[in-house]
Structure 1
Amino acid sequence: MTLSAHEFQFVSSLVRREASIVLEPGKEYLVEARLLPLARKAGLASVTEFLLRAQSPSGRSDRDMIVDALTTNETSWFRDREPFTALTDLVIPQIVKSRGAQRTMRVWSAASSSGQEPYTLAILLKENLPPGWNFEILGTDISTEMLARCERGRYSQLEVNRGLPAPLLVKHFTRVGPEWEVAAPIKKAVTFKRMNLAAPFPPMGQFDVVFCRNVLIYFDVETKRGVLKRIRNLLKPDGWLFLGAAETTMGIDDGFERVVTGRTSAYRPRTGTPAPVGAPGKG
């Protein structure tokens, strides 16, 4: 089937209102593919029937599921790899040098999806911080279904095969039947909370590093500007922001400077201490 213009308008308006995500015309195939499993799970014959139910006064839970389905992003372990290399080769050594008195590092994974990114970050900090250091990882997402998966911390063999090196799998996971569960020391270091990036942020404290990757591409410019400003307010003056490869602060938030490191880029508050290596761009 093909979604009608009215059906697509209902879904795009709902997702825009609830999550500030822009679904342009031409994405009907994506909407249908994401909603068909929901219709089948509900025992309905079609997406059309499911959307009719979602539009009724009693369809709140269906509308929540639609938002969940349309805000769930593809993810993997060490996705794109280069930002994680920059974290271990540049960022962690610099923070260790400047935070010697506190010996604590706080990192925010701002779109944790099914948990691979925040757990990747926790593994890297466990492997690379000196003895005696503590670290905290906050993972947030708008999808309650994804957050439940994150907290469970279990992954299929197919999922761990997507980017997770075998030595780290054996060291930081436990086999539970056909699945792999994140080991307790890693799981304990990560906290998950529901959060809509497009809305005002709750009190969160400051962070040394923020990973907000492959999220801004779904927002319009004004929403991006608001998200970046709020993130900048939570970054320590010498903190680091990592965005997706197709994302940038340039032309959106002049409060950041761009730092090229290896084959990737990071962003720092302009009031922060200049990076000792890398080539600063014109933020």
Structure 2
Amino acid sequence: MTEADFDYLRALLKGRSGLALAPEKRYLVESRLSPLCRKHALKGLPELIARLRSGRDSALEIAVVEAMTTNETFFFRDRTPFDLFRDALLPKLAAARAGNKRLRIWCAAASSGQEPYSIAMILDEARARLPGFTFDILATDLSQEVLDRAKAGVYTQFEVQRGLPIQMLLKYFKQNGDQWTISPQIRSMVQYRTLNLIKDFSPLGQFDVIFCRNVLIYFDQPTKADVMRRLASALAPDGALFLGAAETVIGLTDALAPHPEHRGLYVASRPGTAAPPLRVAAGA
């Protein structure tokens, strides 16, 4: 792969997905796209890039972007955000929405579904405490391939062993050989849609909670700032945004501020006013 070919791929990925590929990541391109070459009966990366340059194979372009996108995820990943959502944020928002009894939640990088299904299980467990509430969970991702997996709700033994409490596995999954299928009840709580974060997502409306974790780390600063500005607009005034442990809004937008008590949680910025405390429910 020539330097020109590598630069072309970097520009393509940046323009289509926002992925900012560092110059030293050439090895990543070769390791992830070589299998794609074999799948499409191409002799190697030069032929693949020539096909891309022709502009006549949009399916191959999509496949390249999806192959280069990282889809690492697992149930209740990093645990703390989910505990905070269940024990502090959910009671607060439920009290504030007692009138319309509706909560809207967006998982902005859903991958193969473990994050939105983790949220759905938490909400299902809370139904007895929140009678009459409707929970709308929207899960989006750039990759249609991983969303198809998420919609199916079928996971390997390895995948369900990563972070999923045994009591939830037994309650919400059915085993079939070495695979586990999530219950129709939980699957029906999540709506999936293909969405590119670098494109306009204002038609989605406002959300009470947004999970956008471990996505911004792949963008350059201008792209991060643009996405963060638009995420702030999609958040209800008293809503909350969860980012990954290595991500922050600092230096990207003035519309959001870190919650003073909880790392990784961000709320609407109110100059001169501290964010209201989030009290963990008794017995949590």
**TM-score normalised by length of structure 1:** 0.91
Structure 1 residue 276: Cα displacement: 2.2
Q: Which residue identity is paired with 1:173?
A: F
Structure 1 residue 176: Cα displacement: 3.3
Secondary structure in 2 matching 1:27: helix
Secondary structure in 2 matching 1:203: helix
Separation of aligned partners in 1, 2:89 and 2:126: 11
The equivalent of 1:266 in structure 2 is 265
Q: Which deviates more, 58-67 or 210-219? A: 58-67
- Give per-residue Cα distances to partners, 1:126-155, cap 9 Å, x unaligned: 113423322111001111111111111111
Separation of aligned partners in 2, 1:260 and 1:119: 28
Same amino acid, percent of matched pairs: 42
1:56 to 32, 54, 61: 54
Separation of aligned partners in 2, 1:36 and 1:260: 46
Q: Which residue identity is paired with 2:41?
A: G
Secondary structure in 2 matching 1:200: coil
Q: Which residue identity is paired with 1:147?
A: L
Separation of aligned partners in 2, 1:85 and 1:203: 30
Secondary structure in 1 matching 2:197: coil
Which structure 2 residues correspond to residues 1-283 of structure 1 after superposition, within 5 A? Answer: 3-129=1-127, 130=129, 131-261=131-261, 264-271=263-270, 274-277=275-278
Question: Are the counterparts in 1 of residues 117 and 190 from structure 2 also a CA contact under 8 Å?
Answer: yes
Q: Which deviates more, 5-14 or 104-113? A: 5-14
Secondary structure in 1 matching 2:48: helix
Structure 1 residue 70: Cα displacement: 1.2
Separation of aligned partners in 2, 1:83 and 1:277: 13
Would you identify which runs of 4 or more consecutive aligned residues in structure 1 move more than 6 Å?
Answer: none
- Give per-residue Cα distances to partners, 1:33-87, cap 9 Å, x unaligned: 1112211212334333333333334332111100111123211111111111111
Structure 1 residue 185: Cα displacement: 1.1
Question: Are the counterparts in 2 of residues 122 and 189 from structure 1 also a CA contact under 8 Å?
Answer: yes
Secondary structure in 1 matching 2:99: coil
Separation of aligned partners in 1, 2:257 and 2:51: 48
- Give per-residue Cα distances to partners, 1:165-192, cap 9 Å, x unaligned: 1111111112234321121111111001
Separation of aligned partners in 2, 1:166 and 1:55: 49
The equivalent of 2:282 in structure 1 is none
Secondary structure in 2 matching 1:257: strand
Q: Which residue identity is paired with 1:12?
A: R
Q: Which deviates more, 98-107 or 238-247? A: 98-107
Secondary structure in 1 matching 2:24: coil
Q: Which runs of 5+ in 1 are unaligned?
A: 279-283
Question: Are the counterparts in 2 of residues 238 and 269 from structure 1 also a CA contact under 8 Å?
Answer: yes
CA RMSD in angstroms, aligned pairs only: 1.9
Separation of aligned partners in 1, 2:242 and 2:278: 16
- Give per-residue Cα distances to partners, 1:8-52, cap 9 Å, x unaligned: 212111101111211010111111111122112123343333333
**Alpha carbons of structure 1 residues 99 and 57: separation in structure 2 relative to 1, 3 Å:** closer
Question: Are the counterparts in 2 of residues 86 and 261 from structure 1 also a CA contact under 8 Å?
Answer: no
Separation of aligned partners in 1, 2:41 and 2:260: 51
Question: Are the counterparts in 1 of residues 108 and 141 from structure 2 also a CA contact under 8 Å?
Answer: yes
Structure 1 residue 110: Cα displacement: 0.3
Separation of aligned partners in 2, 1:78 and 1:261: 21
Structure 1 residue 91: Cα displacement: 0.3
Q: Which residue identity is paired with 1:148?
A: D
Q: Which runs of 5+ in 2 are unaligned?
A: 280-284
Question: Are the counterparts in 2 of residues 72 and 143 from structure 1 also a CA contact under 8 Å?
Answer: no
Q: Which residue identity is paired with 1:265?
A: G
